[in-house]
Amino acid sequence: MRLRWSVVVVTAVAAVGVRAQMPTTTSVPAAGGPIVITALGHASVQIEQGAKVVIVDPVSAQTDLSRAKRADLILVTDIHPDHFDPAAVARYLKHNFRAELVSSEQVVEQVAEALNDEVILRNRVHAVVGSSPESSASLTVGGIGLHIRRISHGSGRHAEIQNLAQVVTLGGWKILHIGDSDAGEAEFKRLDFKKEKLDVAFIPFWYLTDDKGVTLVKRYVRPRIVVAMHIPPGELEQRTAEIRARFPDAVIFTQPFETKTFQ
Ligand SMILES: [Zn+2]
């Protein structure tokens, strides 16, 4: 958990101009209908296509989750409270019998306690990444593709935190979320996200406000659309200017519950 986590509710907004600047050779039409992305606040995002809804990092303290959809797939990037709300995740699983959780062993351990339901736990909760820093998983849940790997949350007390880099494949689109990543060049080089040919990447602002971080994103992530996340509300103006200077086309969240449709 970064010290400067926010409670602002923010939204993915990609201007038409952003699409216009994408190389047409990499344009991927979303098979099965448009993809709608709504930033729920802080690092939380809702990704929808048709009836399918994926929610990353739902946290009641960050947003009004009653305004979010019923998630079919819940992803949680790490156990820190700005990304993980065990009670909220348990509610999603109890209120939608189709909902599944895919996350780390650390997250699932806490969800199991909050859930207290062996049947749901056995059938719809999946711990796919564990204590090895290089553990990874590829799976499909309800027609949604997932490629999940650990990405460093930093050293010291954060070294053991199972923070996840999650690539969601939906309608042919590849969408990356890297949570609280603190990875440096060697790790980005190993993970080599650009191989995934990403359409959208949710990147914490600290990579986008620093020249070294920008180099990592451009060299090893290379998404068509960069979406900045995790910006503290009090720093929005300053961070926006810093990001704009380095990534003029980045999508920066500003308004609660706005949505953007990609098609
Ligand atoms: Zn964290």
CATH number at residue 180: 3.60.15.10
- Kindly state whether residue 123 falls inside one of the protein's structural domains: yes
| Cα(181) to centroid(ligand 1), Å | 8
8 Å CB contact between 168 and 47: yes
pLDDT above 70 (res 236): yes
**Does residue 98 form part of some domain?**
yes
Of 103-112, 119-128, 155-164, 174-183, where does mean pLDDT reach its minimum?
Answer: 155-164
Q: Does any domain span residue 11?
A: no
**17 alpha carbon to ligand 1 midpoint, in Å?**
33
Is residue 48 pLDDT above 70, yes or no?
yes
Three-state secondary structure along 166-185?
EEEEECCEEEEECCCCCCCH
Q: Quote the ligand 1 centre to 110 CA distance (angstroms).
A: 15
Q: How many angstroms is it from 77 CA to the middle of ligand 1?
A: 8
The per-residue pLDDT for 3 is 37
Beta strands in 50-90 (DSSP E): 52-56, 73-75
Q: Could you tell me the CA-to-CA distances from 99 to 115, 202, 249 in Å, in that order?
A: 13, 23, 34
pLDDT given for residue 260 in this prediction: 78
**Total domain count for the chain?**
1
Q: Which residue has the higher pLDDT, 207 or 3?
A: 207
Distance 32 CA to ligand 1 centre (A): 34
Which three-class secondary structure state does DSSP give residue 146? strand
Q: pLDDT higher for 4 or 179?
A: 179
Whole-number Å distance, alpha carbon 142 to ligand 1 midpoint, is 27
Distance (angstroms) between ligand 1 centre and the Cα of 211 equals: 22
Sheet holding 144-150, edge to edge: 136-141, 144-150, 164-170, 173-177, 200-204, 225-229, 251-252
Q: Which of 30-34, 72-76, 94-98, 176-180 has the lowest mean pLDDT?
A: 30-34
Q: How confident is the model at residue 28 (pLDDT cuts 50, 70, 90)?
A: low
- 4 located within any domain: no
Answer whether residue 182 is part of any domain.
yes
Residues with CB under 5 A from ligand 1 (ion): 1, 78, 80, 180
Q: CA 32: distance to chain centroid?
A: 21
Buried b (16+ CB within 10 A) or exposed e, 157-177: eeeebbbbbbbbbbbebbbbb
Whether residue 8 lies inside any domain: the answer is no
How much is the pLDDT for 14?
A: 34
Residue 153 CA, ligand 1 centroid: distance in Å: 7
pLDDT at site 29: 65
Per-residue pLDDT reduced to its tens digit, 156-186: 888 899 999 999 999 889 999 999 999 999 9
Which residues span the domain enclosing 183? Answer: 16-23+34-262
- Taking residues 34-55, what's their average pLDDT? 90
Residue 130 lies in a domain: yes
